[in-house]
């Protein structure tokens, strides 16, 4: 078994975010000036953590954010972001490019909550969750192939101590994605994968909407699945043995921007 940290970051602000317009997958906008500053700020916040692998949605707003994070990072020289379509924002179908209020009105007309409603041509929550599960399989396979047979990191450390950094863990992955996708991903980690929570926290608090460049971090322990006939062996694929949430939606790095 070995443990790695998974840091998930939402992209910086776009003009569509500021104007409360839905982007989804079909509207591929770039960061606003404020969004670039946010991406630079989160890059400074993460600058001392050496990422072994970086995955980003292939939409421009996420790619730009990942680029800024890697540019600021002093320990991840030579690491390049992998563009991963599985990390794209939830598709909102005919609602993309329209005000978020339009989506609320569609949901109300259908007698559903806005969070659960799927507009025509859009992705259901289950479809997005399955995309995240597919991504985890890709990530787990890479982590196991590249680090699982070494001694780069111990099993999950005991609870207690600092909740900020993954002390004692030597392998780190960064994911840059989108608000709706991250909310579904965090909910899956907390509710379906048995992820333990920080002391005093509730799952509903941790799966709240993520702000632009909000940071979430998890510790995930992998092991090789039993080989053929139930015997453990090198041929087994990776499976999750334990998971812990350190924090979600952290945004302290934005405080100086809000004061300026």
Q: What angle do CA 18, 24, 26 make, to 5 degrees?
A: 110
> What letter does residue 201 receive in the DSSP assignment?
-
Of residues 89, 147, 172, 178, which has the active-site annotation?
89
Residues 178, 88 contacting (CB under 8 angstroms) = yes
The 8-class DSSP code of residue 109 comes to H
The sign one gets for the Cα dihedral 202, 138, 92, 20 is: positive
Please choose, from the candidates 180, 24, 6, 10, the residue with its C-alpha nearest in 3D space to the C-alpha of residue 91.
Answer: 24
Q: What is the DSSP letter of 237?
A: P
Q: Which residues pair with 7 in a beta bridge?
A: 174, 217
Farthest-apart Cα atoms in the chain, separation: 62
Catalytic, 253? Answer no
- DSSP label at 165? S
What is the C-alpha separation between 100 and 121, in angstroms, rounded? 16
CB burial of residue 120 (10 Å; 0-12, 13-18, 19+): exposed
Let me know if 89 is a catalytic residue. yes
* Residues tagged active-site: 11, 89
């Amino acid at each position: 078994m070995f443990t790695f940290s998974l840091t998930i970051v939402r992209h910086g602000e776009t003009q569509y975010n500021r104007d409360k317009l839905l982007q989804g997958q079909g509207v591929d906008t770039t960061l606003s000036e404020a969004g670039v500053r946010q991406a630079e700020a989160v890059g400074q916040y993460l600058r001392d953590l050496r990422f072994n692998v970086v995955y980003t949605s292939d939409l421009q707003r996420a790619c730009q954010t990942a680029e800024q994070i890697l540019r600021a990072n002093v320990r991840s020289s030579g690491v390049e972001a992998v563009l991963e379509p599985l990390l794209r924002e939830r598709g909102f179908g005919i609602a993309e490019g329209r005000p978020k209020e339009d989506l609320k009105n569609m949901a109300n007309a259908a007698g559903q909550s806005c969070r659960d409603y799927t507009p025509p041509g859009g992705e259901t929550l289950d479809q997005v969750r399955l995309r995240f599960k597919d991504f985890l399989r890709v990530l787990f396979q890479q982590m196991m192939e590249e680090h699982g047979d070494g001694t780069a990191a111990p099993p999950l450390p005991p609870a207690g101590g600092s909740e900020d950094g993954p002390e004692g863990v030597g392998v780190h992955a960064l994911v840059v994605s989108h608000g709706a996708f991250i909310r579904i991903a965090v909910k899956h980690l907390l509710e379906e994968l048995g992820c333990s929570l920080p002391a005093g926290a509730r799952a509903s608090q941790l799966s709240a909407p993520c702000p632009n460049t909000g940071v979430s971090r998890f510790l995930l322990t992998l092991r090789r699945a039993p080989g053929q006939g139930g015997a453990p062996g090198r041929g087994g694929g990776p499976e999750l043995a334990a998971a812990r949430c350190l924090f979600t939606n952290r945004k302290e790095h934005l405080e100086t921007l809000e004061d300026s």
